[in-house]
Structure 1
Amino acid sequence: MDDKLENLIRNKIATDKKLAAKIACEDFWLAKGQEALRKYQAYSINPELLDNLIEKSSTSEGFQEIKNSQDPALIEIRELIFSIVAYCDMNACDKKKYNKYEDYRVIAKAGIRQNDWLHHFLTYKKTSNAPDSVMNAIEYLDQPATHFGNVSEKHRKLIAEKIFMVPYERNSFFDSAKKFFEPFDIKCNNSGNLGTVFGHILYDGEISKYWKESDLSLDDSDTVRYWVYSPGAKATNWNNDKKNEVMSIGYDNIVDWSTLKTKEEYRTALQNFNHDTSSHKNDVLGFWQFVNEMKIGDVVYAKDGMSKVIGRGIVQGDYTYDANKDSFYCSRKVQWTHTNCNYQLKEDGAFSMKMLTDITKYSGLRNELEEFFDNQKSTQIGGKTSIEPKPQTPSIYSKENFLKKVFMDESSYDSLVGLLKRKKNIILQGAPGVGKTFMAKRLAYSIMGQIDKSRVKMIQFHQSYSYEDFIMGYRPDGNGFKLKRGPFYEFCNTAAEDSENNYFFIIDEINRGNISKIFGELFMLIENDKRGQQIRLLYEDELFSVPPNLYIIGLMNTADRSIAMIDYALRRRFSFFEVKPAFDSEQFESKRENAENEKYDNLIECVKNLNKEIAADDSLGEGFCIGHSYFCFEENETIDNEWLKSVVEYDVIPLLKEYWFDEPEKVKNWSDKLRASIQ
């Protein structure tokens, strides 16, 4: 077992009060959940009614019918199942109603939608079987002394392979867990709690990093990141790094950075070492990224000074710290692909004065460096074969993934997808904070069925954006002017060469640009029935078309009063889909319950009332309502007074001042109400 992992587990056992309570508990930790399951197992359902319910619960419409039914027989069945689910899943519907524990304890955050729980429990009633994830919950509640306290099959497989170091076998998983935890001598007062104790430990934030796959990254950065580092002042340590096949940073022996958990701790360490109160912003970020963000497979360039590149390599190892060295105590293994080079950046090009810089988002600089090294002979140390960064296999992304993350019901999702496929051009419009940007890429990925960033492109329009930026135009290049092709031109050509796959072009703030001016002669060609038709371009004697497999998603803030109304030409070519605040959605209600914070609940109710007044205001309307995303939080984020105050003071109140700039009394009234809600 990894020494660091062992120490983390021992520290968890020694210091975690909630874990200690589970170990000391005389009763089964989820006895009330077990009781709810027993009632359901003993309950008799008419076979004909059961078949009808199984079929009905397989659709979202049928689920809503069952959920809202006032039929006494259906109510009894529904209440029995919802009561069990309230102990199985942190995100269960109406968990606070059905879960009878004060702390609302559950098996896991299961990621199974309520209609699926209902359908699977009904199927289980008929066949005594269900999907493995649901059976994991049932078996644990039914026989806790011989089963593990989690639900996800995917997580079990990862834990087996990365923690227990054995192939995953569902029937022997609990035995593997017991064998792994033997050295820690955990003795529960109730043997049925051993499974939940194991789960509590393995899902700890730091411990779970040993087995959890990183969350799906949906931002604009490439899978492989690109870094520039300085091997000491004037590259004094470059020869050592080449020889030892490493990259090293940090001349002084300050601390083993992996022992620190936050950027603030990094800052404190630097202040203590330097005996000052400076922010040390660049060094904090550099050390943090070197330890926590850089990964195997990333590309790294060594620099000498501000504009000279002296090497290129591929990161091959994790962060290491060696206190026995004389200097440069922090390092990572690197396979240097090029070491005999002395490349000067093009005119006016310069790196920042930092020991480590992430240049992934600077595509121009990145392309310049890669183009240079593509034409250089590789210089491998020790005769090794060159290792190039490998793009990751696209991760599966389904409709279900979308609905778990985006606060939208299944019916609205189906309508949105159908609209985009039919029209090929849509605009997601809505008030600030309703999640338009968050939704756009996930919508594209859900239609593709996978996260393939190469098939999604996102740009932002602004008042100065032009045809020359978007399609093509002449730009100065130091020796006069050069014809440069824009992102839409390039992306259309990429999509045309891959006609079997769909491509998605996302335009943020689409109403901020002069649409007719930006699209030019291509404005006609984006229409659904004009796809594939060719037209001659303005700047080049070339016939060009917008391919049928390219979909355009525009994003529009309906509360931006600095923008004129959308012209009819745009409205005719795009369909408009309204994205509304989702405070009453099942997903947000679940998130609200997870916060378990009365002040947070009060704030949400206050904002819902505020939105009613905004919607009724003739000068504003529904398009100005406050969106739910301002009030969303990460899974491990703490909802404390500071968090609530920050949202109110720096997100919501500034919007009100903008909305009611000529009604200060109304701003003051609602500001006071918002502040009072979190007191």
Structure 2
Amino acid sequence: MLEKLEKVRSLSAAEMGFASPANSEAEADALNSSVTGPELDESDEKYLLTEALLADGFAGVVFSGPPGTGKSRYAREIARLFVEDDEARVFYVQFHPGYQYEDFMESFVPTSSGGFAPKDKVFLQACRRASEVDGPVVLVIDELSRTDVVRVFGEALTYLEKSKRGLSFQLASGRTTSIPNNLIMLATMNPWDRGVEEMDLALERRFARISIEPDPQALEIILSRSALTEERRLRVMRFFQTLYRHVNPLCRIGHAYFLTAQNDDSLKRLWDNQLSFHFERILKRSPEELERIRNGWQAIMAE
């Protein structure tokens, strides 16, 4: 290893034709917490599934879903549960199209003597921490599909596999390191990003995937906390249902988009200043479909 360096409305999601809503007060409270609450607990089904997948031997777990579904929150909260709230054992990074090996693994920095020396970046920092402690250390990668993972991970990609943990390998700098068995990797991705196909080829054997979909129950809770009238909330749910079942997966926006819709004015701003641009971009070659979605939104706002 490297040297140490409010009242809920009566209309339910089930009545809207979605999956059955929470059927007990405890389940409702858990779902309520999942929308805006600060913490998950160890009974959460996605936490339990993540734990089981890691026990099965996967090198990491990717939470996959469209924007606004809570992927990043799940990754961070599940990381917190693994380390029992010890934030010193959680490392965070967000990928972007310009992200490089030198941002993730190691880079060379100037020294006081006028030369250059290798410096550990977040992946090696997480490996080093994992080598120093007995419990799990978690590296959370947001937007995994936004960059070329083969380029960013370099030679470490092979050694992510559980069967190769602890084996030494050489870095680009010539130094050697290894990946401890107690390093857990959690990541998020949008399945419709451009880089997903290439990422799939690199990670399909190493990482398991959990789908995080738009959640009508979560939207119902979000709307119940707003000052929107019951009729307006009903219209929003209908609009969401249309998107939820849309043939174009890019139209299936997440429930979290509606967190800002606290009243009629903010609901209008949500469309004017965010959603309209989203649909114009993804439906620029489908003007008739764009017009149908615009009309659907206008039906929400009609008096």
Is contact 2:148-2:195 (8 Å) kept?
A: no
**1:26-64 deviation line (CA, Å, top 9, x unaligned):** xxxxxxxxxxxxxxxxxxxxxxxxxxxxxxxxxxxxxxx
After TM superposition, the structure 1 = structure 2 runs for residues 172-571 of structure 1, keeping only pairs within 5 Å, are 399=41, 410-422=44-56, 423-450=58-85, 452-476=86-110, 479-498=114-133, 500-542=134-176, 544-561=177-194, 564-571=197-204
Q: Secondary structure at the match of 2:266?
A: helix
Higher relative contact order (CA 8 A, sep 6+): 2
Which residue in 2 is equivalent to 1:593? 224
Amino acid at match of 2:225: N
Alpha carbons of structure 1 residues 476 and 591: separation in structure 2 relative to 1, 3 Å: same
Cα distance between partner residues in 2 of 1:562 and 1:656: 21
Aligned to 2:257: 630
Residue among 667, 672, 677 paired with 2:295: 672
Q: Secondary structure at the match of 1:463?
A: coil
The separation in 2 between residues aligned to 1:464 and 1:593, in whole angstroms, is: 41
- The 1:646/1:508 distance shift into structure 2, 3 A limit, reads same
Q: Classify 1:416/1:483 alpha carbon distance in 2 versus 1 (closer, same or farther; 3 Å).
A: closer
Cα deviation for residue 442 of structure 1 reads 0.7
Q: Partners in 2 of 1:517 and 1:502 — Cα distance?
A: 26
Kept after mapping to 2: 8 A contact 1:426/1:553: yes
CA gap 1:591/1:509 in 2 versus in 1, 3 angstroms: closer
Q: Say whether 1:663 aligns with 2:294.
A: no
Query: Counterpart in 2 of 1:279?
Result: none
The whole-number CA distance in structure 2 between the counterparts of 1:607 and 1:571 is 31
In 1, the alpha carbon distance for the partners of 2:52 and 2:102 equals 33
Tell me: CA distance 1:567–1:560, structure 2 relative to 1, closer, same or farther (3 Å).
closer
- In structure 1, the gaps of 5 or more residues are 1-89, 99-112, 119-214, 217-396, 404-409
Q: Does structure 2 conserve the Cα–Cα contact (< 8 Å) formed by 1:645 and 1:678?
A: yes
- Does the CA-based 8 Å contact 1:96-1:593 persist in structure 2? no
**CA deviation string 1:572-597 (max 9, x = no partner):** 111111110011x3x54333333352
Letter aligned with residue 92 of structure 2? M
User: 1:398·1:447 contact (CA, 8 Å) conserved in 2?
Assistant: no
Q: What CA distance in whole angstroms lies between the structure 2 residues aligned with 1:455 and 1:541?
A: 24
How far does the alpha carbon of each residue in 1:350-408 deviate from its partner, in whole angstroms, 9 at most, with x for none?
xxxxxxxxxxxxxxxxxxxxxxxxxxxxxxxxxxxxxxxxxxxxxxx6616xx8xxxxx
2:264 to 641, 644, 647: 641
Q: Contact between 1:592 and 1:601, CA under 8 Å: does it hold in 2?
A: no
Aligned length: 275
CA distance in 2, matches of 1:436, 1:513: 18
* Corresponding letter in the other structure for 2:271: V
- Residue in 1 that maps onto 2:20: none
1:116–1:430 CA distance, 2 compared to 1 (3 A): closer
The runs of 5 or more residues in structure 2 that have no matched partner are: 1-5, 13-23, 30-36
Distance 1:491 1:572 in 2: 22
CA distance in 1, matches of 2:296, 2:160: 47
CA distance in 1, matches of 2:259, 2:103: 35
- 1: distance between equivalents of 2:253 and 2:118? 44
TM-score scaled by length of structure 2: 0.79
Structure 2 residue identity aligned to 1:612: R
For 1:370, the equivalent position in structure 2 comes to: none
Return the letter of the residue paired with 2:73: F
For residue 670 of structure 1, report the CA deviation from its aligned partner. Answer: 0.9
Contact kept in structure 1, 2:98 and 2:147, CA below 8 Å: yes
How many Å separate the matches in 2 of 1:97 and 1:675? Answer: 21
CA RMSD of aligned residues (A): 2.9
Compared CA separation, residues 592 and 416, structure 1 to 2 (3 A): farther
Amino acid at match of 1:514: D
Partner of 1:114: 25
Matched AA of 2:223: R
Q: Which residue of 2 aligns with 1:393?
A: none
Label 1:489 to 1:526 Cα distance change in 2 as closer, same or farther (>3 A).
Answer: same
Match for residue 24 of structure 1? none
Aligned residue type for 2:289: K
1:427/1:553 contact within 8 Å kept? yes
**Partner Cα distance (2:228, 2:184) in 1:** 42
Which amino acid in structure 2 is aligned with residue 579 of structure 1?
A: I
Cα deviation digits, residues 245-281 of structure 1 (max 9, x gap)? xxxxxxxxxxxxxxxxxxxxxxxxxxxxxxxxxxxxx
Q: Does 1:96 align with 2:41?
A: no
> Could you tell me which amino acid in structure 1 is paired with residue 88 of structure 2?
S
Which digits, 9 at most, give the CA deviation of each residue in 1:317-374, with x for residues without a partner? xxxxxxxxxxxxxxxxxxxxxxxxxxxxxxxxxxxxxxxxxxxxxxxxxxxxxxxxxx
Query: Structure 1's 521 and 567: CA in aligned 2 closer, same or farther, altered over 3 A?
Result: same
Q: State percent identity of aligned pairs.
A: 25
3-state secondary structure, aligned to 1:458: strand
Distance in 2 (alpha carbons) for counterparts of 1:518 and 1:602:
45
Tell me, yes or no, if the aligned pair for 1:466 and 1:517 is still in contact at 8 Å: yes
Query: Any conservation in 2 of the 1:470–1:487 contact (CA below 8 Å)?
Result: yes
Q: Which residue of 2 aligns with 1:582?
A: 215
SS at match of 2:62: strand
